[in-house]
Amino acid sequence: MQPTHMASTGEAAEAQSRPILSVRNLKTYFPLDEGTVRAVDGVSFDLKASQTIGIVGESGCGKSITARSILGILDKPGRIEEGEILFSRPSSDGEAPAGAVDLVQLDPNGVEMRSIRGGEIAYVFQEPMTSFSPVHTIGNQLIETIMLHRKVTKKDAREMAIEALRQVGVPLPEQRINEYSFQLSGGLRQRAMIAMALSSNPSILIADEPTTALDVTTQAQILDLMRDIQQKVGMAIILITHDLGVIAEMTEYVVVMYLGKVVESATVDDIFHNPKHPYTRALLKSIPRMQAVSRERLASITGSVPHPYDRPTGCPYNPRCPDFMENRCDVREPSLSALQVGHEVSCFLYQEDSS
């Protein structure tokens, strides 16, 4: 009996190590009259069960489009041109995946995708004020979400909605459930949005800038709330932000994006203590430090993100890079290659010239 037990334990460990979501060479383009915007241009990463990964970069680097591509909620004329998004549904015992489905191949408006969207993969939008309907109460929208993904009566759904608001720390949830989004503060709206996302017990939560426009105290409360809920229910989190402080506090693995591409990916410790890509280093240097000399100017990244219709040839970061190498960085684009297990970087500083 002992070998059988050991085998089952090994299988469970292997199941836990397999990704619950695997994004492979994702390319999402927006064909417009002026030209094609390559918003996401070959992004790859894995997300394991109960893991938190962060996607970081400046505005316009493709973070949110990557998340929206996963759920199939792209604004027209955006479309996925290439790649795979493999989602492995957990089995009933929560151990081994019940089977992977390529979300790219699903009809965005089909029954299967709609059951996954909001049910198994939930999304906390960047601005809850524009995400909630202003003409329906918070309760009506919560109840509708619960009834869409669970087979319960409206009365039971209301009780579940009240309990969801209570779990995310909304005071007087029996009263708040009858209020409209504009009657709530920014922090309460964000809590209500998290309650809606968690109402169907998702296995993955995508949080897009969940602390934007919130004061520092409320930001800390929201992050603590997400961490506590993750520990209780064991969901995985994709955290999209430009705030490296949030990345340091919340994530285990980090994907750094620039102009639609992954330029570096590694554990959070490697990103902060052993950054390799010049862009990652520049982002870290721009963080205010407690030990900084009084009135010392913060380091900034020279230039700006190129216009999507005027992308540079070669490495997309080369016009702003302090380590720019002429006739190399401006001619070819470096591939994303592994420096060590779990640490990949796209830079010629770490690649042999094969030209």
Determine phi and psi for 186, rounding to 5 degrees. -60, -45
Residues in CB range of 206: below 8 A, 6 or more apart: 67, 70, 71, 121, 122, 123, 124, 237, 238, 240
pLDDT band at 290 (very low <50, low <70, confident <90, very high): low
User: What was the pLDDT predicted at 291?
Assistant: 64
Give residue-wise pLDDT tens across range 223-270.
888 888 898 888 999 999 988 888 999 999 999 999 999 999 999 999
Give me 232's structure tokens: 């209780």
Rg over alpha carbons for the chain, rounded to the nearest Å, is: 22
Q: From CA 93, how far away is CA 244, in angstroms rounded?
A: 36
pLDDT tens track for 183-231: 988 888 888 888 888 888 889 999 998 877 777 888 888 888 888 889 8
Higher pLDDT pick, 127 / 93: 127
CA distance 307 to 120: 36
Q: For residues 27 and 232, which has the higher predicted lDDT (pLDDT)?
A: 27
The yes-or-no verdict on residue 134 having pLDDT over 90 is: no
Query: pLDDT value at position 97?
Result: 52
| CB under 8 A, 24+ apart: contacts of 196-199 | 196/141, 196/142, 196/145, 196/164, 197/118, 197/122, 197/123, 197/124, 198/122, 198/164, 198/167, 198/168, 198/229, 198/233, 199/142, 199/145, 199/146, 199/149, 199/160, 199/161, 199/164
Question: Please, which pLDDT band fits residue 130 given cuts at 50, 70 and 90?
Answer: confident
Q: Where are the alpha helices (DSSP H) in the chain?
A: 2-17, 63-71, 111-116, 128-131, 138-149, 154-167, 173-176, 186-198, 216-233, 244-250, 268-273, 278-285
DSSP-H helix ranges across 234-303: 244-250, 268-273, 278-285
DSSP type of residue 292: P
Query: Which structure tokens are listed for 9?
Result: 């334990």
pLDDT, one tens digit per residue, over 60-77 is 899 999 999 999 999 999
For the segment 124-133, the average pLDDT, to the nearest whole number, is: 77
- For 256, half-sphere exposure in the C-beta direction (CA atoms, 13 angstrom radius) is 27
DSSP character at residue 320: G
Alpha-carbon separation of residue 287 from 87, 243, 272, 298, 330 (angstroms): 35, 9, 11, 8, 28
| Nearest-angstrom CA–CA distance, 350 and 338 | 9
